Structure formats: C-alpha cells, structure tokens
Amino acid sequence: MSDENYVDPSRVNFDAFKALDRDQPVAMLNLVRFRDKADYPDGHPMAGKGLSGAEAYALYGEESGPVFERVGGTILWSGEPQTIVIGPEDERWDTAFVAHYPKASDFLAMVTDPDYREAVVHRQAAVETSRLIRHRLRDPGSGFG
C-alpha cells in the first residue's frame, strides 16, 4: 500500500471535478480509514482531548450534516467494510458510503459553505486516508457495463 495519505483533494483532482458538468446529479463513493487517535491542529478546542478518529469523524458528521441536508444531499448506501475480496490485502476501510447530490454544483456549494469549512477540521483530524470518487448516475437496470 502507498505511504501517501489522502485526506483532502489535490488541486489537480479538484479542478478535474469542477471541469465536469456541474448540473448533473452525482453520487460520491466515500471510503474512509480513521486514525487511531484524532490529530487536531494546535490551538483547536478539541486538541488534546484524546478523541479517537471515529469519534472525531462523528463530530464531523454532526456539524456538517445540516449543510449536507441544506444542499439536498442524501446517503444512498452505507456499509461497514468487512474484508477485501479483490484488491490489496493490506488495504482496509472503516466506513464506506455513497452520498448523492442533486447536482454536482450542490457538492461544491457544500464544501465552500462557511459552516462546512469549520466542520471539516474534524474530518481532517479523524481521517488517516480516504478515497472520494465522483460518479455519474445511470439506470441500475443497465447491468454491469
């Protein structure tokens, strides 16, 4: 497994997201691995409180949830990963879910919202590494292709 951790989008990846159609609905696949202990920046009120990554991520959900709902976001599916069937054997995830946004621009509105920008500090403290993959929706009856 790569030693590189992915917590926030790179400029290149975020620009690629923004270059795609912003008026279409999107589903965002989230794969998240938590830190054992949350790592808040010095001076943050939660620094030194001894929270686990999972506890910090729960705070992120509580504080960002109202913004997510305000932009029309919904969770389509959520699961607790159990084992890798195909993929690197040493890769593991603590939570996985698919978030739906009525339009890609709604996701952009969320991540630039001032309340979200405050809440995301909990995510940054909580997450060891993650994957966030944008998907265009298609008819589930269309098969695997």
**pLDDT (tens digit, 9 = 90+) per residue, 102-128?**
999 999 999 999 999 999 999 999 999
The model carries a pTM of 0.92
**β-pair partners for 100:** 27, 74
Contact 7, 119 (CB under 8 A): no
Return the DSSP state at 76. Answer: E
Q: How many residues does the chain have?
A: 145
Q: What is the pLDDT of residue 5?
A: 86
In the numeric block, which tokens belong to residue 104? Answer: 């890609």
Q: pLDDT per residue over 36-46, tens digit each? A: 999 999 999 99
pLDDT of 144 higher than 80: no
Instruction: Render pLDDT for 76-106 as a digit per residue (tens, 0 to 9).
Output: 999 999 999 999 988 899 999 999 999 999 9
Can you list the domains of the chain with their CATH numbers?
A: 26-137 (3.30.70.100)
Q: How deeply is 88 buried, as exposed, middle or buried, from its count of CB atoms within 10 A (0-12, 13-18, 19+)?
A: exposed
